[in-house]
Amino acid sequence: MNSDVGHDQRFFCAALAEAEQGLAEGGVPIGAALVVDGRVVATGRNRRVQQGDPIAHGEMDCLRQAGRRRDYRRATLYTTLSPCMMCAGTIAQFGIPRVVVGENTSFGGNEAFLRSRGVEVLVLDDARCQELMRRFQEEHPDVWAEDIAE
């Protein structure tokens, strides 16, 4: 794994672009990118609103886009928001060894769970992600509450 901050920022931009696209579509602005061996193999975004699918979180959409894979040992999953338990469970189940999170102030996620399973978790505290989520939460509080099961 390359934990070089420059590489992380470059790959993270793919996840952020998905989050921005999701917001433009009227959805929850959470994006993800799966990188294997220094190459983006898939991106995805939260499509719960767009598809009426309660489990279409950004990470899940990204993994669906990646298709079947023999293993994830050399993968890093970039996500704009700290993963919920469903997504964290999938990360652990698939054995994804590294997750780079844009921000965890809007939603605390399940970083401790991931770390307890040996997953390296890096939080960027990205101001762009925080602003996207702040704006979305202000404009769509009911959808946000539904998304985090409140």
Instruction: Considering the candidates 18, 59, 103, 111, report the single residue annotated as catalytic.
Output: 59
Q: At what angle do helices 85-94 and 58-66 cross, to 10 degrees?
A: 30
Q: What is the number of alpha carbons within 13 Å of residue 65 lying toward its C-beta?
A: 22
Catalytic residue list contains 59: yes
Alpha helices in the chain (DSSP H): 5-24, 48-51, 58-66, 85-94, 111-116, 127-139, 141-147
CA Rg value for the chain: 14
The residues assigned a catalytic role are 59
